[in-house]
Every structure is written in structure tokens, then in C-alpha cells.
A and B are shown apart, each in its own frame.
Chain A
């Protein structure tokens, strides 16, 4: 005889991933690896900024990079060519974000003996904010042409980040981007996040960004 029964679960969809992310974070801490999850919209200049930042940090730390995209390996190739550091490309297979499992797989591929690993997440301000990758540090890049009101439109990613990098600051004279407003909007979501405007192209303020990372790495 067949029976129809209801099984109560009351389980958050993100619960398994959150647990896996916490476990990964703990393992990274034991190994002394700092994993930086870099989130942003497509075209914000993530790869260009990472290349400029890695060149500055490469003398102090052993750095690896994981590039996540839906397809292609152009970013991994670019970063490896421009910085000489170890890089792997992760394909999300159509998905709009990385989860802790995919991140861990990428770390294995990258190998041991690193102090600092950058994870360039899929260009998207919605989904990556919802899935904890297990990163030690989360940062979001907001480029000047995108507008100063992004923290209002995509609150979660700004709420979950330790640092907001305002990229393409050399373009400030050409856009109606109000830096004060931007900082205010970030503050309304996240009182603790640092906001650093930089230009990877001209090198403007890159030293401040470098110093932020040096300080952060000494803490974690």
C-alpha cells in the first residue's frame, strides 16, 4: 500500500554551503593562507586592478589567482602573463556564482605554498554576495562609470565586504560620480568597510590599497 507523507525540513538553501565555507576558512587559517574574494560587475576593471595590485604585493607574498568565469580562460591567461604568478581558471558551467566547493577545488588545483590567493568571482553583484566562498576577506570593486548609487541598488554585496575599491578614479572628471555620496551610501549599509578610490591605469592611490592589504594580511 502506498502512503503519502510530509517530511519537515525547515532548512535554509544556503546552509550546506555556509557550513562548507566555514570549514574551508578554518583550514585556510591553519595553513596561513589568506583568500580574498573579489566581487564586482562585469567590466569594472577587476583583472586590470588585480594585475596592478599583484605587481606591488608580489615581492612580499607568494600569490596565486583563481579566475572564475562562465566560460573562457582569457583572465587567467592575462593575469599569469602580466604578473608571472600562479593562476587557474574556474568555469562555473553557466552558474552566476562560485560556491565553497568550487573554491576549494580551485585551491587544490592551485597547489600549496601560497600566502595570498585572490579569487576573481564571476562579474555580478547579486549572486556572489549570497554564496559564501570561504574567503578570509571579501572586497567589492565599484568602477566610476557604474555610478555612485550602486551600494543602494545592490546592498548585500556592499554589506558583506570588508573593503570597497572605487576603480577607474582617473575617469572621475568625466562622470557624475559623487565620491562623498558613494561613501555615505556604503556607510548606510556597512559601517565597517573601508572605501579606497584608485586608478590602476595612472597608479593613483594604489599605494593606499597596497597598504590596506599589508595591514589586513598582518591581522589574519
Chain B
């Protein structure tokens, strides 16, 4: 349910970008999703494939997800570490004075779409 809400948001945004750019249809949406963004990729893809049927331009679109590793920085010792292995506590010095550098993003990176000729003549003279 959580994933579906975000998917609807993504589809809405991509649909309007497609309309603005006069695309015929969107073939692919590429997203960057952090490991610790609380999105479950499998559920996200399922939700995407279900909800895309309700859009104007994304009926045939594929979703590519690039998973971004969670990295945390320790303010006490200056080291960084893998967030999913150690969480909030620094494995180097034991400090909790840490913050996430990367890995919580949910970003629409790009979309690949088919564009038609702007002024196609009715007599069918296109090459």
C-alpha cells in the first residue's frame, strides 16, 4: 500500500512530463531508489505494472530501478560505513553521532519515450 501511493505519484509526474513534451508513449522510466528509503523494490514494480494501465502514456512502460547503497558517515571518527550492516551505530568507534550520506532517495532519473513527427501530412509523404 505504501509503495502504491508513491507509484501513483511517479506515474502522475511522468504522465504530465510526457504530455508537456508531446510524447506518443513512454517506453521506460528509470528510478534511483535508496536501500534505506523504505521502498520494497518487488512491491514497487508490481504496483507500477498494475497502476500504469490507468495512465495515458505509460501503458507499455517498463520500470528500471537502480538501487543506491546506504552509506552513513560518523562524525566522531570520520569514517563511513554500509548502513544496512550497522544501522545508526558506527562499527569503527561505536558512536551514535552519525548521519546518512546517501541511500534514502526516491528519484525519477529519466524517461525514455517515443516522439512522433510534429506535423505529419495527411497524404502520407513521410519517409
**Physical interaction between A and B:** yes
List residues of A whose CB falls within 8 A of some B CB: 1-14, 16-17, 94-97, 126-127, 130, 152, 155-156, 188-189
Minimum CB–CB distance from B66 to chain A (whole Å) comes to 12
B117 and A1 form a contact (CB under 8 A) = yes
- Nearest B residue (CB) for A7: B111
Bound: A126/B1 CA distance, A:
11
What residues on B are CB-neighbors of A6 within 8 Å? 110-113
Check B43 for interface membership: any CB of A closer than 8 A. no
Bound: A2/B126 CA distance, A:
10
Residues of chain B from 98 to 127 with CB closer than 8 A to chain A in the complex: 105-117, 126-127
Bound: A7/B1 CA distance, A:
29
Bound: A97/B17 CA distance, A:
25
Partner of A11, one of B4, B88, B107, B117: B107
Bound: A127/B110 CA distance, A:
24
Known A-B contacts A2-B116, A96-B2, A126-B38; the reply to A9 vs B111 at CB < 8 A is yes
- Nearest A residue (CB) for B87: A152
Partner of A12, one of B38, B105, B114: B105
Minimum CB–CB distance from B32 to chain A (whole Å) comes to 8
Contact size range, B: 20 to 34
Check B9 for interface membership: any CB of A closer than 8 A. yes
What residues on B are CB-neighbors of A94 within 8 Å? 1, 4
List residues of B whose CB falls within 8 A of some A CB: 1-2, 4-6, 8-10, 13, 17, 21, 24, 27, 38, 87-88, 96, 105-117, 126-127
B10 and A13 form a contact (CB under 8 A) = yes
What residues on A are CB-neighbors of B112 within 8 Å? 4-7
A12 and B107 form a contact (CB under 8 A) = yes
Q: What are 18 residue pairs bridging A and B, where the CB atoms are less than 8 Å apart in the complex?
A: A2-B115, A2-B116, A3-B114, A5-B113, A7-B21, A7-B111, A8-B109, A9-B111, A10-B109, A11-B13, A11-B107, A13-B13, A13-B108, A94-B4, A126-B2, A130-B38, A156-B38, A188-B96
Bound: A37/B17 CA distance, A:
32
Bound: A12/B108 CA distance, A:
6
Bound: A13/B5 CA distance, A:
11
Known A-B contacts A1-B127, A156-B38; the reply to A12 vs B113 at CB < 8 A is no
